[in-house]
Structure 1
């Protein structure tokens, strides 16, 4: 099989790293890729927003199977166009991608199928949204309705903070994604993510993970695309896992099929574990970043048959095996991220940093001859395995400390909640 992965981030490097291990794969391409993907695949420097260019590259390289990574390409319908060209593609349809592309679409689905989620209202003008905030008070959650690269959500602990978030959305801080705003009640509990594969009908649960969205230690600072993650997340008990499948995932899959927009892809449920049981925070219609990195490190099974079965509607009968280990990833980012940051700083690696217990996935990097250059906000994902979260954390930070990059920074407390539980 000849496979093309779409994207350039850490998620795509992790997918490429795992897919390259499959005996089914004879050639692997990544478009456009980064400074790490070129070590396991052939990078194709094309504009992935140009769907015809993607299809042309697939045909030129005799690609049998396309795997789409980023949310923007899911929502833009790249999967639809690739399939229309006669090429198998792991990517939900644009219609199904609305589960991520529109917060209000997902909330309406929750209303229709009695899926537990936060109470909410949707607004298309600033004045009405502000009036609602003043009436409800804080804490309260403000969300840009559309895609915002993981940064369009504000958990406001004061009315003033909520007011600022609403004004930002309607003033264009998130482009057209903020043209409408969803305002939700604040849910008490701990947040966790659950991933399942779905071919439109059959569901194959994968695993859990916990992401760290805030930029700085102690979960303070602005929201980012994710500063680290670990998997599995033991805070989600088996009873809660099963309840989520029965009350959240299965009704969603049934509802999407009933609407004539079956979901074929990986469904990423962000959940809040409340005193009333798990509630849906939001859906993503693709692998998480950096959650994908820890999932691929832990996955024992060959991922290619699973992804292809999803794309071809043949998932029934498939299973997935996991290593008996935890995985933890630390994101190294350019100073200034998620705000303004520079590009072009050099990163120095020691020889033989990667081994069977530690892998560095690249995100915002590029090669300049023999030099590795930072070319984005989130730049590296130092990912380690361990018998506990504490062990995986220790190994990951030992890897971080061997990388010489003065212009970079990272959180030093990834996995802190679970580590505290382990030490209790």
Structure 2
């Protein structure tokens, strides 16, 4: 099969590494790709928002399957356009991608289907947002309704902080909406499902670290690291989440004429009453893909093809017993202002370690030099017998990378590592 992979981040590099293992793969191409992906695939300079260019590329190269990595082209309807052109694509249509594209859409679906989640109010003006904040009290969660690259959420500890978040959403006058939610206490985890329109099967779980700095301090980011599996999400809790949250969502989407095909990423809050939905993403997580996919024992391409063909019934993906842990290296200043163009050295030494992969998230080549070209720049993933060993292996690899202009958290996986050491 000739496969076209769309995207340029660490998630797509992890997808490329898994797809490359498939005996069914004859050729892997990527658009636009990155230096890490370029070692595995032929890269074409077509951006993910250039839907006409993507369709043209897929036709010209005789692509058998398009795998869409990021959310923006899914919400924009790239799968719809590829389908119109007769090109099979793995990912949801624009209608189904509303599960991530509109938080209000998802919350209202949950309300209709009695799916456990936080209480909420949909707010179309700043005044409505402030009223919702007053009704819920603090702490309270304020979310921009649309896509926000994992950063459009404020967990406000005070009413003033919440009102400021509401005002920020409506300040540009662009006609956006906000969702104000009750605060849910508990521990967050991510559950990934592979969905074929009617059947959903578990494709791993993980726990990530959103805050920029050690001790879960600082602003929200797209993710500073993750580990898989997540001890908090026991097999029983994962099945409860599938039964009460994921499968009812998939059934509702099919019933509404918006069948979902693709990766469905359920962000969960695990509390005393069991799992509740925080939000959905309609693609693999990043950096969660970098810890789930290295543990996958089955042929990823075969799984994706079964999803596209509607043949997931009875499928149960298998995973290695080891724990995987990834540490994100980000440019100084991220998630605020940061500079691009600094040189990164030492990747070969890091990658030479056993069971270590370095995924490129925001890099570019300048001749023989590797340069930073984004906020999140690298994801260093290691395997270990447990979380403590995976953490030790990952940081040993991180310490071999020479990049003075970057930083990372030094406590990724601290909770799971502590449990492993106690156990």
Using the size of structure 2 for normalisation, the TM-score is 0.97
- 1:48-107 Cα shifts (integer Å, max 9, x gaps): 212110011112222111000001011111111111111110010110000001011011
8 Å CA contact retained: 2:263, 2:282: yes
1:227-274 C-alpha deviation (Å, 9 max, x unpaired): 000000011122211211111111111101100111111110000011
Q: Aligned with 1:333: secondary structure?
A: strand
| Residue in 2 that maps onto 1:109 | 109
Are 1:290 and 2:287 an aligned pair? yes
RMSD (Å), alpha carbons: 1.2
Residues 230-245 of structure 1 mapped to structure 2, 5 A cutoff: 230-245=227-242
Partner of 2:253: 256
Aligned to 2:18: 18
Secondary structure of 2:374's aligned partner? coil
The residue that corresponds to 2:222 in the other structure is 225
- Aligned partners of 2:375 and 2:181: how far apart in 1? 29
Cα distance between partner residues in 2 of 1:276 and 1:353:
42
Alpha-carbon distance between aligned partners in 1 of 2:2 and 2:267, rounded to the nearest angstrom: 32
Helix, strand or coil for the counterpart of 2:293?
Answer: helix
Go from structure 1 to structure 2 and tell me whether the alpha carbon gap of 1:257 and 1:135 turns closer, same or farther (over 3 Å shift): closer
1:402 counterpart = 2:400: yes
Partner SS state of residue 351, structure 1: helix
1:352 to partner: Cα distance: 4.5
- 1:279 matched to 2:276: yes
Contact 1:88 1:312 survives alignment (8 Å)? no
Whole-angstrom CA distance in 1 between matches of 2:303 and 2:393: 30
Aligned pair in 2 of structure 1 residues 351, 123: CA closer, same or farther (>3 Å)? closer
The residue number in structure 2 matching 1:372 is: 370
2:170 matched residue in structure 1: 170
Contact 1:90 1:311 in 2 (8 A): yes
SS in 2 for 1:163: helix
Residue aligned with 2:104, SS: helix
Correspondence for 2:155: 155
Q: Which residue of 2 aligns with 1:326?
A: 323
Corresponding residue number in structure 2 for 1:411: 409
TM-score (norm 1): 0.97
Structure 1 distance, partners of 2:27, 2:54, is 16
Deviations 1:102-124 (A, max 9, x none): 01101111111110000000111
CA offset at residue 419 of structure 1?
A: 1.6
More off after superposition, 200-209 vs 262-271: 200-209
- In structure 2, C-alpha distance between the alignment counterparts of 1:137 and 1:37, rounded to whole Å: 46
The answer to whether residue 7 in structure 2 is matched with residue 7 in structure 1 is yes
Q: Displacement, 1:317?
A: 3.5
Instruction: Report deviation, 1:198.
Output: 0.8
CA distance, structure 1, for counterparts of residue 346 and residue 226 of structure 2: 22
Could you say what secondary structure the match of 1:353 adopts? helix
Aligned mates of 1:118, 1:220 — CA distance in 2: 24
> For the Cα contact (< 8 Å) 2:357–2:382, is it kept in 1?
yes
Cα deviation, 1:262-294, whole Å, max 9, x if unaligned, reads 111111000001111110000000000000111
Number of matched pairs: 421
Shift of 1:420: 2.2
